[in-house]
Amino acid sequence: MKKILFVFILILPFVVSAQKYTISGTMKDAATGEDIIGASVKVKGENIGATANEYGFYSLTLEEGDYTLIYQSFGFSSFEKSIKLDKNINFNIEFKSELGELDEVLVTTEKDDENISSTEMSVIKLDPKSIEAIPVLFGEKDIMKTLQLTPGVKSAGEGNSGFYVRGGGADQNLILLDEAPVYNASHLLGFFSVFNSDAIKDVKLYKGGIPAEYGGRASSVMDVKMRDGNRKQFGASGGIGLISSRLTLEAPIVKDKGSFMISGRRSYLDKVFGTVNKLQGKDNDFTLYFYDLNLKSNYTFNENNRVYVSGYFGRDVLKLPGFGFNWGNATGTVRWNHLFSERLFSNTSFVASNYDYRFSIGDGEEEFGNKSGVKDYNLKQTFDYFLNSNNTIKFGVNIIHHTFNPGEFTAGSESSFRDQKLDDKYAFEGGLFIQNDQKINDIISVQYGLRYSAFNYMGKGSAYNFDLDGVATDTSDYKDWESIQYYGGLEPRFSIKYQLSDVSSLKGSYNRNMQYMHLLSNTTTSSPTDLWIPSSNNVKPQIADQVALGYFRNFKDNLFEFSFEIYGKTLQNQIDYRNGANLFFNEQIESELLYGKGLAYGAEFYLRKRKGKLTGWISYTLARSVRQFNGVNNGDWYSSRQDRIHDIAIVGIYKLNEKLTASANWIFYTGDAVTFPTGQYTINGTSVPVYTERNGYRMPNYHRMDVGLTWYNKKTVKFESSWNFSIYNVYAQKNPYTITFEENEETGQTEAIQTTLFRMIPAFTYNFKF
Amino acid sequence: MKTLANIILIISMSSCGFLKREPIDINLNESNEKYVVEANLYEGTNDFNVILSKSTNYFKDETIPFVDGANVMVTDESGTITTLTESTSGNYTAKDFTAVPDQTYDLKINLPDGSDIEASSHLPKSVPILGMLFLLEEATAFGEEGYVPYTAFFDTPDEANFYRLIITINGERKDGFEDLFIFDDLLTVVGEPIIVPIFFERLSSGDEVTMELFSMDEETFYYLETISSIIGGTESAAPSNPENNLTNGALGNFSAFTASSVTEIVP
């Protein structure tokens, strides 16, 4: 707590000042009424300004006087306003888009040199519009796959939307959709993400320098914001693709006061496969689809109060005769923005989130099945205090109640098995944070913050103690709400920017992140049955400490953007599994776990061309990620699954003319570290592999090229439509999805078998908007 | 349950021709030789065989290197030592050895290099199979229309039981790891017969079916479970050698099984 006091003391001197007044308000897009995140206001001729928060609210406090203010947002015409500041002023502005001059392909809401001037580092921002032209698998545009083309973010596998950030695991990414955590962000085993680009306004991925307001995961935060819906007029947009179709409707509730947006997507992969099968004369008796539904509504009651309600419902469904399996997320967020004063902005959020899967085998009375999941209720209160033009303070509190259902087995009446439910597990997770964005002078600015996070694993339930071999030594029973294990810790966060010149800066950051929930998965692919477990008397929270340094430079009047970052990260209390671990329906699942540590470090290069006929970027990452566990690999350090030494992505988008845009990307990365056998022996007439080193081998290097073409065949003020054609893996590179070691049934010889998934997959999508 | 994920993957991908499997060349390291013990002891009076060999390099095309000249002994709970004799290369046998349920047996192997491998395995109480019945099932994901065989038996109460079923259809005994069917009694109702359907078998009228039920200790169960998970192409992110009950880093296992069986003709 001493450290928090220290922060306040740092801030105090700035409070003492002459007569000052505040200009505040919201910044919106004139065409749709959507809030613009990160738009800015500046005093002309001076280096003083403010930036809009995630709700488009800005507040700038200046000494009494006459000023000319410049409002700016990338992709919009800037706007000048002269004011006489002798009282507090409320001024809302609506930006008009730079039609004509605007490059449709790479619109971002950031200002031209924000990458240089902002204190933030290790951050990737994406606007779903910016990814429209990038070719993707099956033509399904996907923000998670586009993020994988940027430095420090690696794909979790061929065609997979899961990702690793700076050597961390896929479960160490906090994925938020309108503040609600999404526990399984993928459809169909990871080939598609749950984010329907039509419903998304803004995506921000923090790889490092994570602000204190975020907590709960060790490696990164992916903050996804849904669109609010058009506040000016009715609009519809959608698309028809090879495997799925989308439709989004939006309209004002009361013009300029409130709006709603509803966006749906459903795949019909099974129908496509079914048709292919029928043509080949095969039976087709299976159902496989997913759907997403995004809903959002907001209403401004008056200048000081605004309410948002948003929800997401998505599910995957697989049905075969005698077999059923479905899984999905549901989230809901209610938010209330309240202005206590021109300088104090408050947001209160109530968030509910649920993930579950269920499957059944057999029919009717002989059916048996299982279900499992995790459910959260989350209350979050944050305040933005715009102290003065040099300090923006954010502080708040967050409390989450988690319910884990590890497994619920149901048996049909005719079965000889009995219904059984593993005890639900409960926990409270809390966070208390304060941070300040402080501009010290024109050269140096800092962001510093402190988060105290806590986790209380509690009853009702049983807690086991295990010996070194994972055998239970004793059991204790706990009553409702009784604390079984409490963890807490301080998470300092710090970032600094040192401006070298108008076009270049140096940045550094340090952050500690604690993670109290852990995903157990021992397969190579992400599976809906992967299990979330809480920290407990046996499982300690994961702790990550990261230091990053970066050099940022823009060229040719911000036409080119370049960055070079290096980072080092230590990971404590990482989780691995004992040999032959059974993670499925296991009361004493903690007995199957091993604990160790990790280390990740690397360098990231990024060069992007932002405007003109040709846009795109080159990204290169050189990185290592290693782990050490007693009981694995003789206790020696070994490469983790995330250990990919080289990772290159080149993305190019070329605007041929007003109607045609061509695009291509090329990806190369070092093959994943894998465990291959070193020998074999014969048991029961079958060849059995012998394993020695963990992850001692490498898969072959991965590379592929995708190409795309977008044809805007109709474009009027009222109606827009386009066709998108793409080919994934255009030169049909056989990239291994898995390599397995088997005995050839005919010859009896042992052999390595490579499974390849996607070679030259063409796709087309028709998109419209009116 | 990891197979669930693969069911979806395989169905969706292979039906559209996305999935392609082909052999590739991979360079693997030379491995250190390890001893391999295959010792299965069955309830009742049978020949008890122990096969002793060594592991080889993965792709090496060579005959199995059996280990000759070892001294192999089995000891029962009363301390009676039976020495096995080497019948063929690496194959050690105790003729007409009687194994009694609810007893622990110790295996000791003195290797020609002077080192020892030891193991002990508990032969559980006998669990007799009650019988079989056949129910006509419509086509499901697990097979065409046909008769699904069910078997029934009473679980031994008050102790954890671990089972394996081997089915023989018209003389073809499905005893390979690819057909391994093992289960425990974690979810069964105490005092009621356990009725187990063999989902993936679809039989026709007139088929002759033999069902063998084996009961084993927990270590042997985990050995079978872990060995089957690495055979025929594992999906595990971290495959490792099976857990076993042998000392000295040896591969294989010393497994003791109770056994009972029934044979019936599908009506």
Nearest residue in A to B183, CA atom = A417
SS3 call for A157: coil
Cβ distance of A522 and B24 shorter than 8 Å: no
Distances (CA, A) of B264 to B144, B201, B211: 21, 15, 9
d(CA A151, CA A166): 9
Distance CA A172, CA B103 (A): 49
Give the closest residue to A175 by CA, choosing from A455, A636, A532, A662: A532
Rounded to whole angstroms, how far apart are CA atoms A226 and A248?
A: 12
Which pLDDT does position A280 carry in this prediction?
67
The torsion angles phi and psi of A188, rounded to 5 degrees, stand at 45, 55
Q: Give me the residue label for tokens 């078997």.
A: B151
Distance of CA A215 to the CA centre of its chain: 13
Q: Count of CB atoms within 10 A of residue A143's CB?
A: 23
| Subunit contact B230:A759, Cβ cutoff 8 A | no
Closest CA to A84 of A70, A69, A99, A94: A69
Q: Do A678 and B140 touch (CB under 8 A)?
A: no
How much is the ipTM here? 0.89
- Over the stretch A313-342, which tens digit does the pLDDT of each residue have? 999 988 877 778 888 999 999 999 999 998
Cβ contact B38–A684 (<8 Å)? yes
Q: What is the chain B residue with the closest CA to A583?
A: B1
Instruction: Please classify residue A364 by burial: count the beta carbons closer than 10 Å to its beta carbon, then call 0-12 exposed, 13-18 middle and 19+ buried.
Output: exposed
- For residue range A584-640, list pLDDT tens digits in order: 777 788 888 889 999 999 999 999 998 889 999 999 999 999 999 988 888 899 999
B15 with A276: Cβ contact below 8 A: yes
The C-alpha atoms of residue A556 and residue B225 are separated, in whole angstroms, by 63
Can you give the pLDDT at residue A2?
45
The verdict on a CB contact (< 8 Å) between B29 and A696 is yes
Of B29, B138, B231, the CB nearest to A686: B231
Give the pLDDT of residue B176.
Answer: 84
Cβ contact A143:A195 at 8 Å: yes
Q: pLDDT tens-digit profile of B74-98? A: 999 999 999 999 999 999 999 999 9
Report yes or no: A327 and A315 within 8 Å, Cβ to Cβ: yes
Is residue A452 within 8 A of residue A467, CB to CB? The reply is: no
Give the model confidence (pLDDT) of A158-207 as tens digits. 878 889 999 998 889 999 999 999 988 888 777 888 898 888 988 999 99
Give the bridge partners for A174, in sequence order: A221
CB atoms within 10 A of CB A203: 22
Q: Residue A171 and residue A157: Cα distance in Å, rounded?
A: 15
Joined together, the tokens standing for residue A707 give 């190409």
Note the pLDDT of residue A684.
Answer: 85
pLDDT of B6 above 70: no
Beta-sheet strands, E only, within A440-482: 444-458, 461-466, 472-478
Backbone angles phi, psi at B262, to 5 degrees: -135, 155
How far apart, in whole angstroms, are the C-alpha atoms of residue A432 and residue A375?
A: 22
Of B56, B187, B196, the CB nearest to A418: B187
Higher local confidence (pLDDT), B69 or A270: B69
Instruction: Select from A320, A416, A691 the Cβ nearest to the Cβ of B192.
Output: A416
Q: Which residues of A touch B155 (CB under 8 A)?
A: none
Give the best residue of A275, A579, A758 to mutate against chain B (max B CB count within 10 A).
A579
Give pLDDT tens digits for A495-521: 999 999 989 999 999 999 999 999 987
Query: Which residues in chain B are closer than 8 Å to A366, comparing Cβ atoms?
Result: 197
* DSSP label at residue A588: T
Contact check, Cβ <8 Å, A681/B54: yes
Q: How far apart are CA A728 and CA A731, in angstroms?
A: 9
DSSP-assigned beta bridge partners for residue A262? A249, A295
Q: How many beta-carbon pairs under 8 angstroms link A with B?
A: 238
Residue of B nearest to A358 (CA): B4
Contact A754 B23 (CB under 8 A): yes
Contact (Cβ atoms closer than 8 angstroms) between residue B122 and residue B217: yes
C-alpha distance from residue A477 to each of A480, A482, A483 (Å): 10, 10, 11
Residues of chain A with Cβ-Cβ distance to B136 below 8 Å are none
- Interface test with chain B among A520, A582, A688, by most B beta carbons within 10 Å: A688
Option in A273, A580, A742 nearest B232 (CB): A742
Predicted local confidence at residue A439, as pLDDT:
92
Looking at the complex, report in whole angstroms how far the Cα of residue A620 sits from the nearest Cα belonging to chain B: 26
A523 to B15: CB separation less than 8 angstroms, yes or no = no
Confidence class of residue B192 from pLDDT cuts 50, 70 and 90?
Answer: confident
Alpha helix segments (H runs only) across A79-208: 114-117, 143-147
Average pLDDT by stretches of 10, chain A with 770 residues: 46 57 89 85 86 90 89 81 89 75 40 81 84 81 90 86 90 92 84 87 93 94 92 91 90 90 89 71 74 94 92 89 85 95 94 90 74 93 92 95 89 69 91 95 94 93 81 84 93 96 95 94 70 91 97 92 96 84 76 91 95 92 94 89 93 92 94 88 87 88 93 84 91 88 80 85 89
Q: What percent of chain B has pLDDT over 70?
A: 86
d(CA A54, CA A61): 19
Quote the CA–CA distance of A528 and A126 in Å, as a whole number: 27
Q: Nearest chain B residue to A758 by CA: give it.
A: B18
A368 vs chain B: nearest CA distance in angstroms?
11
